[in-house]
Chain A
Amino acid sequence: MDTILELEQLSVKYGKETALTIGQPIRILEGDRIGVIGSNGAGKSTLIKSVLGLVPYEGTIKTTLQPWQIATHMQFNEYTTNMPVKYIMEGILDTRIAKNEHLQELIRYFEFEECLKKRYHHLSGGQKQRLTIIMVMMQNAPLTFYDEVTSGLDFETRQRLVEKLLSWYRDKDGAVLMVSHYYEELQQFADKLLILDQGHVLDFGKKKDLFDKYCGNAVLVVDHTPENARLLSEYPKLISPAHLLSISCENAQKEAEIVKLLIEHDVNYKRSNEDIEMIYVNAKAAYEAQKEEEKNARA
């Protein structure tokens, strides 16, 4: 697979504050589906803006692509309200809807026909997102960024939109980098994860590899009750929300043993071997522990 984008020793500052630091190289390859996760202020949008040249940065961004050759759905996308969106589409994409079958197909695919005559400020949140998505997809770019494409949408609209995105990109060669706070979306979409926290890269790699690294072979999750805590006291636990107990299974044999125990005691459980929230929480904990160790070593 060819490298489309490589980031190395990158630093972005807003005034005196460092918004993003990337040390080790991050390579985005052709066909990659990368999910970018991290809390607010982690540097997710800054990462996209630096690649597009919208913010000044120091370091290396290697790519043969010009910013306009990268299709981008920004967190906020605004258009003129002086004309119906049909004409915005035609002007921006340099085409006529009536003559462009590919565009017609996308409009149908995203059920956008009835919105074409509306002005941008009369569209709902979901319709606004779909307008940009259609135009972004029409670019058919080798690299596409989606920055919080489903934020502000209700559950049902979000689900529908993600399903559409998933099936659209299923057989496409271009790389896609999707920033999202909704891990279940990335669960379906991403095969790699870039984990950011407060402007630092916690880790980058294949979803399964990161799960193995931070969570083990599989994780079994049960309710955090005193009985369950006693029952599972001897097994290694992962960081998880207070109302849950997450047990790390280092191999299939260990997993079978714990499952047997849970069944014997009639305990409900959930199993996962790629839970993104689990990866994020434990990667963050590992990073903080490492920082603490380094601090203690210096002291």
Chain B
Amino acid sequence: MPVRKTISKSLILYEIRNVLGNPYIWIFGVGFPIFFMFLMPTAVTRGMTDASIIRMVTTSLFLSIGALIPMANMLMGYGISCAQEMEKGVPQRLELFGISRKMTLCNRAISEGIFFVLSFLLYGLIGMLGLKLEAPAAIGVMYYAVCMLLFGIICFAMGHGIACLLRKFSLTYCVMMILYFGFMVCSGMMGISYEDMPKAMKAVANLIPVTYITKDFYTVWTGKSYNFMPMIQSYLFLGAVAGIVLFAGMKRK
């Protein structure tokens, strides 16, 4: 039997089918953001008359709801599915067929990345067609894409690490839900805006990149000057946490 390449077309196809068959990703990563993209602006802008303010609020909500996609796809959807497979012994079964965990991780990362980009494009396309959005500056779109991509990578690392550490579907599902809704609450997506948060909650919110996407990204999107330093610090912090969790998870025997 020949040695398999770390990354192969057949394994990427296998993993893409695995992602497409994961219901959590469709519900939380595709359905929810699109649903909220229409629901939230309608609810928030009810009673507003100034078209420019409505456009600004809608754009701001469109950008912040977009951050649900990396959280739902890469953190929750992938993490839960990964833990479910580990609990059943699927990765071990694949190893016996010569597909190492490293191979699975690499091919899964690529396929998750492809699906992540496609779901973002779908979200963007529907948003552009269905909502009245502020026209972005090219640099603003680029910053948004980079920020989402980096946040997606952090979420993937964290999702994989947590799944490897817990290895149980129920436990991982619980932790992922706490993180998913925790991120949403702390970033101001669930009704309490950053300005209204208590001091301790603000301190936590400052450490999460989504907070800056929710409260500030309209400025970046429209090409106005913006101090990226706090946001970069939050990325570094969450990235370090994800790295430690991933390392600990992969070291666990």
Give the B-binding residues of A (Cβ under 8 A): 52, 54, 67-70, 72, 74, 76-83, 87-88, 90-95, 135, 139-141
Q: How far is the CA of A82 from the CA of B26 in the complex (A)?
A: 12
Contact of B98 among A68, A80, A90 (CB under 8 A): A68
Residues of B contacting A87 in the complex (Cβ-Cβ under 8 angstroms): 13-14, 17
Give the Cβ gap from B63 to chain A, nearest Cβ, in Å. 31
Query: Which 6 A-B pairs rank lowest in CB-CB distance, beginning with the nearest?
Result: A91-B14, A82-B21, A68-B98, A78-B88, A83-B17, A94-B10
Residue pair B93, A78 in contact (C-beta under 8 Å)? yes
Apart from A82-B21, A90-B13, A94-B11, what 13 extra A-B contacts exist at CB < 8 Å?
Answer: A67-B96, A68-B96, A70-B96, A74-B93, A76-B89, A78-B88, A78-B89, A80-B90, A82-B17, A82-B22, A82-B81, A87-B17, A91-B10
Q: Does B226 contact A (CB under 8 A)?
A: no
> B85-129: which residues lie under 8 A (CB-CB) from chain A?
85, 88-90, 92-100
Q: Does B51 contact A (CB under 8 A)?
A: no
With contact pairs A91-B13, A94-B4, A95-B10 given, residues A68 and B95 touching in the complex (Cβ less than 8 Å) = yes
Q: How far is the CA of A70 from the CA of B96 in the complex (A)?
A: 8
Residue of A nearest to B18 (CB): A82
Residues of B contacting A74 in the complex (Cβ-Cβ under 8 angstroms): 93, 96
Residue pair B14, A92 in contact (C-beta under 8 Å)? yes
Residue pair A140, B96 in contact (C-beta under 8 Å)? no
> B61-95: which residues lie under 8 A (CB-CB) from chain A?
81, 85, 88-90, 92-95
Q: How far is the CA of A94 from the CA of B99 in the complex (A)?
A: 10
Q: What per-residue 1/0 map shows which CB atoms of B175-216 lie under 8 Å from chain A?
A: 000000000000000000000000000000000000000000
Q: Does B8 contact A (CB under 8 A)?
A: yes
Residue pair A139, B1 in contact (C-beta under 8 Å)? yes
Give the Cβ gap from B77 to chain A, nearest Cβ, in Å. 11
Chain B interfacial residues counted at CB < 8 A: 28
Residue pair A80, B18 in contact (C-beta under 8 Å)? yes
Give the Cβ gap from B102 to chain A, nearest Cβ, in Å. 13
Residues of A contacting B11 in the complex (Cβ-Cβ under 8 angstroms): 91, 94
Residues of A contacting B18 in the complex (Cβ-Cβ under 8 angstroms): 80, 82-83
Residue pair B14, A90 in contact (C-beta under 8 Å)? yes
Q: How far is the CA of A95 from the CA of B13 in the complex (A)?
A: 11
Residues of B contacting A52 in the complex (Cβ-Cβ under 8 angstroms): 96
Residue of B nearest to A70 (CB): B96
Residue pair B88, A94 in contact (C-beta under 8 Å)? no
Q: How far is the CA of A95 from the CA of B8 in the complex (A)?
A: 11
> B1-56: which residues lie under 8 A (CB-CB) from chain A?
1, 4, 8, 10-11, 13-15, 17-22
Q: How far is the CA of A52 from the CA of B95 in the complex (A)?
A: 10
Residues of A contacting B85 in the complex (Cβ-Cβ under 8 angstroms): 80
Residues of B contacting A83 in the complex (Cβ-Cβ under 8 angstroms): 14, 17-18, 20-21
Residue pair A72, B17 in contact (C-beta under 8 Å)? no
Residue of A nearest to B81 (CB): A82
Residue pair A54, B1 in contact (C-beta under 8 Å)? no
Residue pair B1, A69 in contact (C-beta under 8 Å)? yes
Residue of B nearest to A56 (CB): B253
Residue of A nearest to B10 (CB): A94
With contact pairs A83-B21, A90-B14, A91-B10 given, residues A135 and B1 touching in the complex (Cβ less than 8 Å) = no
Residues of B contacting A72 in the complex (Cβ-Cβ under 8 angstroms): 96
Residues of B contacting A90 in the complex (Cβ-Cβ under 8 angstroms): 10, 13-14
Give the Cβ gap from A82 to chain B, nearest Cβ, in Å. 3
Q: How far is the CA of A59 from the CA of B21 in the complex (A)?
A: 44
Q: How far is the CA of A135 from the CA of B1 in the complex (A)?
A: 12
Residues of A contacting B100 in the complex (Cβ-Cβ under 8 angstroms): 68
Give the Cβ gap from A75 to chain B, nearest Cβ, in Å. 11
Residues of A contacting B17 in the complex (Cβ-Cβ under 8 angstroms): 82-83, 87, 91
17 contacts between A and B (CB under 8 A): A67-B95, A68-B96, A68-B98, A70-B96, A78-B90, A79-B90, A80-B90, A81-B21, A83-B20, A83-B21, A87-B13, A87-B14, A91-B11, A91-B15, A92-B97, A95-B10, A141-B1
Q: How far is the CA of A3 from the CA of B66 in the complex (A)?
A: 60
Residues of B contacting A77 in the complex (Cβ-Cβ under 8 angstroms): 93
Contact of B14 among A69, A81, A88, A141 (CB under 8 A): A88
Contact of B8 among A67, A94, A141 (CB under 8 A): A94
Q: How far is the CA of A140 from the CA of B97 in the complex (A)?
A: 12
Residues of B contacting A93 in the complex (Cβ-Cβ under 8 angstroms): 97
Give the Cβ gap from B186 to chain A, nearest Cβ, in Å. 31
| Most chain A beta carbons < 10 A, residue from B8, B10, B13, B20 | B10
Residues of A contacting B81 in the complex (Cβ-Cβ under 8 angstroms): 82
Residue pair B14, A140 in contact (C-beta under 8 Å)? no
Give the Cβ gap from A24 to chain B, nearest Cβ, in Å. 28
Q: How far is the CA of A94 from the CA of B90 in the complex (A)?
A: 17
Residue pair A92, B88 in contact (C-beta under 8 Å)? no
Give the Cβ gap from B11 to chain A, nearest Cβ, in Å. 6
